[in-house]
Amino acid sequence: MKITDLSTILLTVPVQDLRWSGGDATAVTATLVEVRTDEGLTGLGDVYCGALVPGVIAPLVEHFRERLLGADPLAIPRAWQAMYGTSLFWGRAGVAVAVMSAIENALWDIAGKAAGIPVYRLLGGLAHERLPVYASGGLDKPDEAFIAELREYRRTGMRAVKIRIGHGVERDRERVRLAREVLGPEIDIMVDAVQGHNPEPWDANTAIAVAQAIEPYNIRWFEEPCAATEPSAYARVRSATRIPVSGGESCTSMQEFRAFFDANALDIVQPDVSHAGGILGCRTVAALAATHGVKLAPHSWGTGVMLAATYHFGFATPNTAVLEYPTFGHPLRDELLVKPFDIREGFMFPPDTPGLGVELRRETIDKYPYREGVKPVIRRTTGAAR
């Protein structure tokens, strides 16, 4: 089998209530990569960060396409090295790695389809018969809507919920207090400050003040309290609060992750398979985390293609602690799946569809035509719910 083509598919979808401390959006663009073979098999990958810079994805895919045409799609490590070797001068981190990650995930999709088995079986099989899953939502919205959202999580049996903060001590304390009041003592609450890529991120002192203010509410973890480029700030926060500290979703290179581990800055690491080196790269991060006693909670926030790759990786990785399930209303979370994710009573069960279990249908492409210039607005907001 040989690779015959790589192409970029851009789809723009409407979203509601997508508002956080560093920006907002009423529509987002999904940046998908499709790999085709001479045996008719195709694979899909998702460049998650492409939602911010959709116009740069296709040229990068074209660059790597020239290197992979005619290659064996099942020789995945060799394909990665072929791509990475052509970008050493300019693409060792950032969006180039994200594009390579999406292509690599698409190759896993092909490999699973070729073998007729789910991708996690290619990765050595199941490390978990089931995994806890948390509802990832709690974005900026009026209190009434926020309360209704939290009550729905309780109704559906979720055992853990993540909410967004990032507006300062007083407002964040009140937000967390309200969440604990509605969810009760038995449901875990994760708190995401979303400072990793915030244009005006908190310094360590601010993050510490917020952490200490919300400590009474029994928080499972405090996510991205400072800029993703400041592992020493994370370490300071971690030493000043009893809340576990998490981060890593913004990292794209092993050097960035290693800096966090060397600084003893994390209790939980959150690599993203769509921009941290694909499944292979994230497996390396997970192994390094295990040697440092750091738990793994992979980041997943995009289309069903990205989520599926994350979940196959998670189910095959021994130190996966929990899976993230986004609830902000992305239409392509579900529309690209061959079968819905199996979530029951707060747990996810392994998918059984060959490959990643995803499919891009013609009607989906027609339904969500790409609209140039549509992307999230990244800025510092006042935090006022509108």
For range 29-49, the mean pLDDT: 97
DSSP 295-354: EE-----S-HHHHHHHHHHHHT-TTB--EEEE-S--THHHHTBSS--EEETTEEE---SS
Residue carrying the six token digits 């020789």: 75
What CATH number has the domain bearing residue 110? 3.30.390.10
pLDDT, residue 17, reads 75
Residue 337 and residue 207 in one domain: yes
Residue 360 lies in a domain: no
Name which of 64, 123, 131 is nearest 91 in CA terms. 64
For 49-60, what is each residue's pLDDT tens digit? 999 999 999 999
pLDDT, residue 376, reads 87
d(CA 106, CA 326): 21
Is residue 161 a contact partner of residue 135, using CB atoms and an 8 Å limit? Answer: yes
- % pLDDT > 70, the chain: 98
d(CA 102, CA 145): 35
Domain that holds residue 105: 3-117+372-378
What CATH number has the domain bearing residue 334? 3.20.20.120
pLDDT, residue 374, reads 82
pLDDT, residue 129, reads 98
pLDDT, residue 249, reads 97
For 59-102, what is each residue's pLDDT tens digit? 999 999 999 999 999 999 999 999 999 999 999 999 999 999 99
pLDDT, residue 384, reads 34
Output DSSP code: residue 277.
Answer: S
Residue 199 and residue 262 in one domain: yes
Residue 361 lies in a domain: no
For range 191-212, the mean pLDDT: 96
Residue 385 lies in a domain: no
Residue 110 and residue 191 in one domain: no
Name which of 377, 282, 302 is nearest 32 in CA terms. 302
Residue 56 and residue 131 in one domain: no
Residue 64 lies in a domain: yes
What is the distance of C-alpha 103 from the center of its chain? 16
Residue 48: is its pLDDT beyond 60?
Answer: yes
pLDDT, residue 86, reads 95
Residue 306 and residue 322 in one domain: yes
Residue 33 and residue 107 in one domain: yes
Residue 111 and residue 161 in one domain: no
Residue 126 and residue 262 in one domain: yes
- pLDDT grade for 192, boundaries at 50, 70 and 90: very high
Residue 269: is its pLDDT beyond 60?
Answer: yes
- pLDDT grade for 380, boundaries at 50, 70 and 90: low
Burial of residue 144 (CB within 10 Å: 0-12, 13-18, 19+) is exposed
Residue 101 lies in a domain: yes
CA 225-172-333 angle, to 5 degrees, is 70
CA 196-81-88 angle, to 5 degrees, is 60
CA torsion, points 174, 175, 179, 185, in degrees to nearest 10?
-50
Residue 386: is its pLDDT beyond 70?
Answer: no
For range 181-205, the mean pLDDT: 96
Up-side HSE of residue 59: CA atoms within 13 Å toward CB?
Answer: 5
Q: The dihedral of CA 69, 70, 73, 78: what is its sign?
A: negative
Residue 243: is its pLDDT beyond 80?
Answer: yes
pLDDT, residue 112, reads 98
Residue 366 lies in a domain: no
Name which of 195, 206, 163, 207 is nearest 181 in CA terms. 163
Mean pLDDT of the chain: 95
Residue 218 lies in a domain: yes
Residue 264 and residue 138 in one domain: yes
- Residue 112 CB partners (closer than 8 Å, separation 6+): 118, 119, 121, 122, 354, 355, 356
Query: How many folded domains does the chain comprise?
Result: 2
Residue 385: is its pLDDT beyond 80?
Answer: no
Residue 99 and residue 126 in one domain: no
Name which of 161, 183, 190, 166 is nearest 295 in CA terms. 190
Residue 143: is its pLDDT beyond 70?
Answer: yes
d(CA 273, CA 155): 31
Residue 107 and residue 164 in one domain: no
pLDDT, residue 373, reads 85
Residue 246 and residue 302 in one domain: yes
For range 352-368, the mean pLDDT: 97
Residue 182 lies in a domain: yes
E strand or H helix at 214, and its extent?
A: helix 204-214
| Crossing angle of the two packed helices 57-68 and 95-115, in degrees rounded to 10 | 50
